[in-house]
């Protein structure tokens, strides 16, 4: 299976369990690795036979900016399902970063990584 990766998609969302997170929002960063067979697209040099990563990027940003959820696990699942809605995508790895998570000690990042497939 071939891989198309999008790294560092940024969007502001209002996800979290605390009222301040819901009210003020924060930046979330998403990394994706889409698994698909790119041979048909390469053979015919045809965008319609692969995944349009520009559209996927816009859809992921829409999910992050959309309906708030408590958990980044839920957000990652919603993103994965959106990616799998594209016919050619057989598998997706989603990493959601929450670099401004409300943690009381110094830290660089909080992430959740999930892998989902059609199988």
Please indicate whether residue 49 is annotated as part of the active site: no
Mean of the per-residue pLDDT values for the chain?
Answer: 97
> How far is Cα of residue 44 from the mean position of the Cα atoms in its chain?
28
φ, ψ dihedrals at 27, nearest 5°: -85, 135
Q: At 41, which helix (H) or strand (E)?
A: helix 39-44
Contact call for residues 16 and 70 (beta carbons, < 8 A): yes
Domains of the chain: residue spans and CATH: 1-106 (3.30.1130.10)
**pLDDT of 119 strictly over 90:** no
pLDDT digits (tens, 9 = 90+) for 57-74: 999 999 999 999 999 999
Q: Which of 10, 20, 49, 98 is catalytic?
A: 98
Q: What per-residue confidence (pLDDT) applies to 69?
A: 98
């Amino acid at each position: 299976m071939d891989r198309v990766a999008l790294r560092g998609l940024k969007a502001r969302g209002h996800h979290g369990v605390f009222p301040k997170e819901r009210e003020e929002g924060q930046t979330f960063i998403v990394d994706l690795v889409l698994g698909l067979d790119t041979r048909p697209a390469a053979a015919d040099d045809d965008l319609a036979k692969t995944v349009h990563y520009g559209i996927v990027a816009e859809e992921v940003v829409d999910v992050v900016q959309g309906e708030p959820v408590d958990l980044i696990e839920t957000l990652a699942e919603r993103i994965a399902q959106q990616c799998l809605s594209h016919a050619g995508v057989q598998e997706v790895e989603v990493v959601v970063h929450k670099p401004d998570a409300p943690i009381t000690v110094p830290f660089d990042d909080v992430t959740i990584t999930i892998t989902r497939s059609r199988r």
